[in-house]
Structure 1
Amino acid sequence: MTHDSHGAVAIAPPVSSGKFAAYCRLAKLDIFDYYLSLAVAWSLLAAPLRADSTTLAVLALFGLGMLCLVAAMTTFDDVTGLRDGSDAANYGPDAPLRKIRRKPLLAGTLTEREAIRFGWATAAGCVLLWGAAVAVAPHAPWWAVATAALCLVTSVQYSYGVKLSYHGWQEIFMVALGLGLVVAPYGLLAGEVTGFALVQGTLFGLGPLLFGVYSNTNDRAGDAAVGRPTVAVLTTERGNKVFIGAVSAVESVLIAAATLTGQAPWWFPLAMLPVVALRVIQFVTGVVRGRILTARKLGTYTHRVSVVALVVTNVLLAAATGGGV
């Protein structure tokens, strides 16, 4: 165990796993949940019918750009986590369920300078790839282009530069990013955005939030020590539990409201019922029984189930109406 120039604790593994693997871990390539927004966007276009070369090219370019975006975001988050010591606190020896190898800067397999170069390179890659997606897309409404640009700028500034997550924007950012990553590619391909697309984008964004709030609960002490004001830090333990319950309930309310307002078919709540049931189990596991990291893992699984439910809903609705959603 050593200390870097910023005073953070670095825990070096006994054997280096190589630079390439370290960069892959820095980019968090194993966490693909935000990338699933493409499946939702595509299904909103009646996926079985929209397999032309232009559609596939836009989705491929936007998806590769998203890969770069997430890599830049997680890289700069790790740089800040190293500098302020929060990763050392949250991934240290007192947190055995956390894998230190997931933090290559903390593990000593990459230097801070290497990470910063990688972060800016992947951000530039996102600009080029999303620019290409806009160039080949059949539509380029200003709001879709602006949404994509806002996603990139705020992602880079999430923990670095302006540090949005250090100014109380973390929870809002998670939902907004998910929403943007659905409606931006959908707008490039459809040229418009429907009420149901906005509902699904919001539901998609709630997924990362509803496993993020459990991570924040687990990391409360470390975040408080470095001045990162998550809801878990700003409220009491009871207040944080109420917040988690409220956000969980918002998901169900949004599903019901979409149907009641005519944005979704009458059977939409039935299609999303497995998600609602899993969300209840997640709340009981994490909040009632106190198994925070187990609840976080269940939240990841629930998000993926939600994506499947949304895609199936869109495909069935497209088949019934003979067109897009």
Structure 2
Amino acid sequence: MTDSTLTTTTAPAAPPTPPALTAGDRLRVYARLGKLDVYDYYLGTFIALAAVLPAAGTSAGRAAALFGVFLAAQVLLLMAMTAFDDVTGFRDGSDITNYGPDHPLRNVQRKPLVAGTLTVPEALRFAWGCAVLAALLLAATAALAPHRPAWTVIGLAVLWVVTLQYSYGVKLSYHGFQELYLVALGFALVILPYGMATGQATGFLLVQAVLFGFGPLMFGVYSNTNDVDGDRAVGRPTVAALTSERGNARFIGALSLAEFLTIAAAGATGIAPWWFVPLMLPASLLRLRQYLLGFWTGDIMRARRTGFAVHRLGVVLMITANLLLAFTG
């Protein structure tokens, strides 16, 4: 995702009038606006589900319904977030810079406003429509929940409000919070449905929620590295934009190490089973490969793509861990 700020640039030239689209084409354009193909945040639901369903017994149907409704709510909420993000990125010109002819590796069709296939009013109507539907489904999730500890109810409300502030409204990511935001969002998407299904938050699930949040962070920081010129031009304070190339490389290296140390510490302290570290080793080694691709060979976009593979592999391994615990104790 790409966001930006409104403070330092002139307004972009008026976009061309969007061409007439068939119903199918329009659906595809809105799917691009909502980045529906980037499904990585949605995978956290399945980590929590794997920890809940094997022990759910007679309440398995209700638990499955809760997770299903929550999944639909988060899809709509994140589509709203990314649509608002595109509106802001188009208005301040950063998306035009980052997806222009100087960046041929970025597909301009993923930015319908820049490509001229949607107008800003159309994008805003889509974003607010998704946001309203997400609010209704989050309320339905709470109604379905067999447990409603206060932190989960408050968490659902905060999730809805704060998600929409990523690059709209308060614009949290314009104030230096983007990297922290990405981890916190992933963390919430794992722990909230688990808490509503079980009434608690175990140490092992907390660790998995943090690791899940690292996934989007660790392809987001490579995106920021690629987009550094556009972000600097509009004053967007990502770490890549605020530091030197070497400083940014060290920052991403420290994040990669912190992720592995989180896994190792959980295993060493008994929060996670002893076999969690070797189970997660394939993802840890692929994370190392991602770093080397980005900062040894200099192929940032390939490293970014590798980040998606690391995240998805990590999800599969954490689901496996939860199922192993459920069936072997």
- TM surpasses 0.5: yes
RMSD of aligned residue pairs (Cα, Å): 1.8
Tell me the distance in 2 between the aligned counterparts of 1:125 and 1:13: 26
In the other structure, the counterpart of 1:109 is: 117
Structure 1, 26-35 or 146-155: larger mean CA deviation: 146-155
Letter in 1 for 2:272: A
TM-score (norm 2): 0.93
Letter in 2 for 1:25: R
| 1:273 corresponds to which of 281, 289, 298 | 281
* Displacement after TM superposition at 1:12 (Å): 8.4
Tell me the distance in 2 between the aligned counterparts of 1:40 and 1:214: 25
In the other structure, the counterpart of 1:209 is: 217
- Secondary structure class of the residue paired with 2:47: helix
Does residue 1:168 correspond to 2:189, yes or no?
A: no
Tell me the distance in 2 between the aligned counterparts of 1:8 and 1:86: 13
Letter in 1 for 2:52: L
Does residue 1:54 correspond to 2:62, yes or no?
A: yes
In the other structure, the counterpart of 2:50 is: 43
Post-superposition Cα deviations, 1:107-133, rounded to whole Å, max 9, x if no partner, equal 111110111111111111111001001
Tell me the distance in 1 between the aligned counterparts of 2:155 and 2:76: 16
In the other structure, the counterpart of 1:7 is: 12
Letter in 2 for 1:135: A
Structure 1, 63-72 or 18-27: larger mean CA deviation: 18-27
Does residue 1:21 correspond to 2:28, yes or no?
A: yes
Tell me the distance in 1 between the aligned counterparts of 2:147 and 2:187: 19
Tell me the distance in 2 between the aligned counterparts of 1:49 and 1:96: 50
In the other structure, the counterpart of 1:145 is: 153
In the other structure, the counterpart of 1:253 is: 261
In the other structure, the counterpart of 2:304 is: 296
Verify the 8 A CA contact 1:38 1:59 in the aligned structure 2: yes
Post-superposition Cα deviations, 1:166-197, rounded to whole Å, max 9, x if no partner, equal 00000000000000000000011011101111
Tell me the distance in 1 between the aligned counterparts of 2:257 and 2:38: 25
Verify the 8 A CA contact 1:12 1:106 in the aligned structure 2: no
Tell me the distance in 1 between the aligned counterparts of 2:227 and 2:298: 14
Verify the 8 A CA contact 1:8 1:83 in the aligned structure 2: no
| 1:68 corresponds to which of 68, 76, 79 | 76
Verify the 8 A CA contact 1:207 1:302 in the aligned structure 2: yes
Verify the 8 A CA contact 1:159 1:166 in the aligned structure 2: yes
TM-score (norm 1): 0.94
* Number of residue equivalences: 317
In the other structure, the counterpart of 1:282 is: 290
Verify the 8 A CA contact 2:79 2:130 in the aligned structure 1: yes
Verify the 8 A CA contact 1:213 1:244 in the aligned structure 2: yes
Tell me the distance in 2 between the aligned counterparts of 1:46 and 1:76: 35
* Displacement after TM superposition at 1:9 (Å): 7.4
Tell me the distance in 2 between the aligned counterparts of 1:49 and 1:252: 31
- The 5-angstrom pairing of residues 89-104 of structure 1 reads 89-104=97-112
Instruction: Classify 1:12/1:239 alpha carbon distance in 2 versus 1 (closer, same or farther; 3 Å).
Output: farther
* Displacement after TM superposition at 1:289 (Å): 1.0
* Displacement after TM superposition at 1:251 (Å): 0.7
* Displacement after TM superposition at 1:148 (Å): 2.2
Tell me the distance in 1 between the aligned counterparts of 2:119 and 2:100: 18
Instruction: Classify 1:14/1:119 alpha carbon distance in 2 versus 1 (closer, same or farther; 3 Å).
Output: closer
Instruction: Classify 1:67/1:197 alpha carbon distance in 2 versus 1 (closer, same or farther; 3 Å).
Output: same
Letter in 1 for 2:29: A
Tell me the distance in 2 between the aligned counterparts of 1:47 and 1:237: 47
Tell me the distance in 1 between the aligned counterparts of 2:261 and 2:17: 47
- The 5-angstrom pairing of residues 81-96 of structure 1 reads 81-96=89-104
